[in-house]
Chain A
């Protein structure tokens, strides 16, 4: 772009309207173009002699990655190009605000921290499913859309696992933002989606306590401290913080990625269902622990494979499986569903199992679940569901139980699956009957409308009997 940018300049059909932001690596302008009615932003990196080369390479990464992303959790890509050898990128201008101002407002209530954390975790999961790790999650890079969804911005330090990582070999310093960078990024490992979970854990820590867990390190040695030294437990700073929230935050901040949640969707799940969080020593810790043991074993594990592609876990290997249990079904069908789930989870070390039963109510408002009888029925179903699960629940931190009252069971199952980013639904199909043919079955609606894989289970023999 010739000379300085100014309002009114036209670049490839985009008219510069007003400067939006001037960061360390790029300028952001609002732009207009005749074919677009929604507000747009143009990003132009500083590519002059002597500019930080990470700005240039980071911009190349963003040019590669942004056009390949879709969904509400990222800005919509519009165009990219270059003028006189200088590149630019045009994208949707997010209607909303970043989380940055919130960080200065002091400690937030646990429920609010969890709700916000779940939104960001859902956005991270959507990104990870598209084979991209953000690597620079921090409040200023998370926007909240006016619709409520979290939208991640700035992919300058990101990596697409199917594309060249232009940043990994060229730069010898850790890439990230001091307060938020994960230990493995400090050690220049750039292959694990769980690094983003660590950064989110830092954000949740700040939101809950008003303090940064690792301060604001300025030097490499200060940055490395987080590898050796645990943060002060949040409850030591703010006793109002619920044990479940400390459990979740400290799990995100584990030095070894393998100790964190296997996927961002599982983290989101935990934040959405705090009452089912299994509290470990983390929840009750009031002083920093000793990290050396965990750290040493982790270092050994990453050393095993020559520094790259080690224990990284992709969302595909950490599924959330939802099993729908109709407690009144025939014993043979309940057993068949149980058998199917047993087979399914046998090889899934990182899965999370959600057991769901829907209690059908006639219509909203008529059956109150708040009265004593309603609560009794609810608890009774919960007990029955846990009894059905039996030894499926042996890894307690991987199984949750949900009793939902709904007038439309199929819709309830589909909503639950969508909201919790479920990867696979297991559901039993009752044998054919005149009533079911007339009303339509829950399982067939789930198959037709669920946003994920659905496995329909039949009791052995039933299909042939009724075929």
Chain B
């Protein structure tokens, strides 16, 4: 089974369209959306409609902290994020907000787990940025492979039973074998707001028969996404960072 996984779309229509079209060429059997469908970007209405449509066709969708903040504003967000969410709340219909609020926190398919931030206290949205964060995450799940988003920088964490957690920054387009003797936490990059210095949208293909995970990048119309952010009157920093991928 081939699973295309998209995380942190953040209302970036151009980035999601480009990465989805690229992924579709690989004919995935399933689609997984790892949350943070909205926030930061200028097309929340489009993004929620698109993801809800995919969910209706069987896509697995889990909730991100920005999705949760539509119903329950968070005090932990920075000013730009809060400003974007305040604006986003006004753009969404009650049905769209309802779709976001009913999303599950995590999903499990066979030995795979999908969760926005981490399997360890997912509702407090911890960031997995170091080996010890991944260690906590591994301790909180029995799944062999867990895929998360939230950090916006791709990193693979892995450990064999009884061994230390190690990490690896995956190279775009290289299929990494998810060795069966290990457990894996894959922190995927972001579709709509990459922060690893590469502006192209990041997504992943998981191949369960070959047992590999491939991080891929889709170049997209950054100027178009920036224009949407500016047209919405959102903070300029949210537009500018897209060009840097940072």
A residues adjacent to B (C-beta < 8 A): 53, 56-57, 60, 63-64, 82, 85, 87, 162-166, 168-170
Residues of B within 8 A of A64 (CB): 177, 179
Question: Is A82's CB under 8 angstroms from B180's CB?
Answer: yes
Q: Shortest CB–CB separation between residue B147 and chain A, in angstroms?
A: 16
Query: A60-B181, A60-B182, A170-B166 given as contacts; is B160 within 8 A of A164 (CB)?
Result: no
Name which of A162, A164, A165 has the most chain B CB atoms within 10 A of its CB.
A164
Complex Cα distance, B168 from A126, in Å, reads 25
Considering only CB atoms, which chain B residue lies closest to A47 in the complex? B181
Query: A82-B180, A163-B177 given as contacts; is B166 within 8 A of A60 (CB)?
Result: no
Q: Contact partner of B166 among A63, A162, A164, CB < 8 A?
A: A164
Considering only CB atoms, which chain B residue lies closest to A82 in the complex? B180
Q: Shortest CB–CB separation between residue A86 and chain B, in angstroms?
A: 10
Complex Cα distance, B177 from A63, in Å, reads 9
Residues of B within 8 A of A87 (CB): 180-181
The 11 sampled A-B contact pairs (Cβ below 8 Å) are A53-B163, A56-B160, A63-B177, A163-B168, A163-B177, A164-B176, A165-B168, A166-B166, A168-B166, A170-B164, A170-B166
Complex Cα distance, B156 from A169, in Å, reads 14
Residues of B within 8 A of A53 (CB): 163
Residues of B within 8 A of A82 (CB): 180-181
Question: Is A169's CB under 8 angstroms from B164's CB?
Answer: yes
Chief secondary structure at chain B's binding surface: strand
Residues of B within 8 A of A85 (CB): 181
Complex Cα distance, B180 from A50, in Å, reads 20
Complex Cα distance, B176 from A63, in Å, reads 12
Question: Is B177's CB under 8 angstroms from A57's CB?
Answer: no
Question: Is A170's CB under 8 angstroms from B177's CB?
Answer: no
Q: Contact partner of A60 among B164, B167, B179, CB < 8 A?
A: B179
Complex Cα distance, B184 from A166, in Å, reads 12
Residues of B within 8 A of A169 (CB): 164, 166
Return the CB mask of B164-175 against A: 1 if under 8 Å, else 0.
101110010010
Considering only CB atoms, which chain A residue lies closest to B179 in the complex? A60
Q: A56-B160, A64-B177, A166-B158 provided; 15 other pairs, C-beta below 8 A?
A: A60-B160, A60-B179, A63-B177, A63-B179, A82-B180, A85-B181, A87-B181, A162-B171, A163-B174, A163-B177, A164-B156, A164-B168, A169-B164, A170-B164, A170-B166
Interface residues of B in 24-62 (CB under 8 A from A): none
Question: Is A164's CB under 8 angstroms from B174's CB?
Answer: no
Q: Shortest CB–CB separation between residue A256 and chain B, in angstroms?
A: 27
Interface residues of B in 121-180 (CB under 8 A from A): 156, 158, 160, 163-164, 166-168, 171, 174, 176-177, 179-180
Question: Is A57's CB under 8 angstroms from B168's CB?
Answer: no
Nearest 10 CB-CB pairs, A to B?
A164-B168, A169-B166, A162-B174, A162-B171, A64-B177, A60-B179, A170-B164, A170-B163, A163-B176, A60-B181
Residues of A within 8 A of B164 (CB): 169-170
Q: How many A-B residue pairs have CB under 8 A?
A: 40
Q: Shortest CB–CB separation between residue A258 and chain B, in angstroms?
A: 25
Q: Shortest CB–CB separation between residue A82 and chain B, in angstroms?
A: 6
Name which of B156, B164, B179 has the most chain A CB atoms within 10 A of its CB.
B179
Q: Shortest CB–CB separation between residue B144 and chain A, in angstroms?
A: 13
Interface residues of B in 180-216 (CB under 8 A from A): 180-182
Query: A63-B177, A64-B179, A82-B180 given as contacts; is B158 within 8 A of A164 (CB)?
Result: yes
Residues of A within 8 A of B176 (CB): 163-164
Residues of B within 8 A of A166 (CB): 158, 160, 166
Complex Cα distance, B160 from A64, in Å, reads 15
Complex Cα distance, B151 from A20, in Å, reads 49
Q: Contact partner of B160 among A57, A63, A162, A168, CB < 8 A?
A: A57
Residues of A within 8 A of B167 (CB): 164
Complex Cα distance, B167 from A64, in Å, reads 16
Considering only CB atoms, which chain A residue lies closest to B171 in the complex? A162
Residues of A within 8 A of B177 (CB): 63-64, 163
Complex Cα distance, B171 from A149, in Å, reads 32
Complex Cα distance, B114 from A19, in Å, reads 44
Complex Cα distance, B174 from A60, in Å, reads 17
Q: Shortest CB–CB separation between residue B167 and chain A, in angstroms?
A: 8
Question: Is A56's CB under 8 angstroms from B171's CB?
Answer: no
Residues of B within 8 A of A162 (CB): 171, 174
Considering only CB atoms, which chain A residue lies closest to B172 in the complex? A162
Complex Cα distance, B160 from A60, in Å, reads 10
Q: Shortest CB–CB separation between residue A61 and chain B, in angstroms?
A: 9
Interface residues of B in 4-41 (CB under 8 A from A): none
Complex Cα distance, B7 from A317, in Å, reads 36
Q: Shortest CB–CB separation between residue B100 and chain A, in angstroms?
A: 35
Considering only CB atoms, which chain A residue lies closest to B156 in the complex? A164
Considering only CB atoms, which chain A residue lies closest to B173 in the complex? A162
Q: Shortest CB–CB separation between residue A63 and chain B, in angstroms?
A: 7
Q: Shortest CB–CB separation between residue A171 and chain B, in angstroms?
A: 10
Residues of A within 8 A of B182 (CB): 60
Residues of B within 8 A of A60 (CB): 160, 179, 181-182
Complex Cα distance, B92 from A50, in Å, reads 59
Query: A162-B174, A163-B176 given as contacts; is B181 within 8 A of A56 (CB)?
Result: yes
Complex Cα distance, B182 from A170, in Å, reads 13
Q: Shortest CB–CB separation between residue B77 and chain A, in angstroms?
A: 32
Complex Cα distance, B181 from A56, in Å, reads 9
Q: Shortest CB–CB separation between residue A65 and chain B, in angstroms?
A: 9
Considering only CB atoms, which chain A residue lies closest to B164 in the complex? A170
Complex Cα distance, B163 from A53, in Å, reads 9
Complex Cα distance, B182 from A56, in Å, reads 11
Residues of B within 8 A of A170 (CB): 163-164, 166
Q: Shortest CB–CB separation between residue B179 and chain A, in angstroms?
A: 5
Residues of B within 8 A of A63 (CB): 177, 179
Complex Cα distance, B181 from A82, in Å, reads 10
Complex Cα distance, B156 from A63, in Å, reads 18
Complex Cα distance, B166 from A170, in Å, reads 7
Complex Cα distance, B158 from A170, in Å, reads 11
Considering only CB atoms, which chain B residue lies closest to A87 in the complex? B181
Considering only CB atoms, which chain A residue lies closest to B169 in the complex? A164
Considering only CB atoms, which chain A residue lies closest to B177 in the complex? A64
Considering only CB atoms, which chain A residue lies closest to B159 in the complex? A170
Complex Cα distance, B15 from A308, in Å, reads 33
Complex Cα distance, B131 from A168, in Å, reads 14
Return the CB mask of B80-91 against A: 1 if under 8 Å, else 0.
000000000000
Complex Cα distance, B175 from A163, in Å, reads 9
Considering only CB atoms, which chain A residue lies closest to B163 in the complex? A170
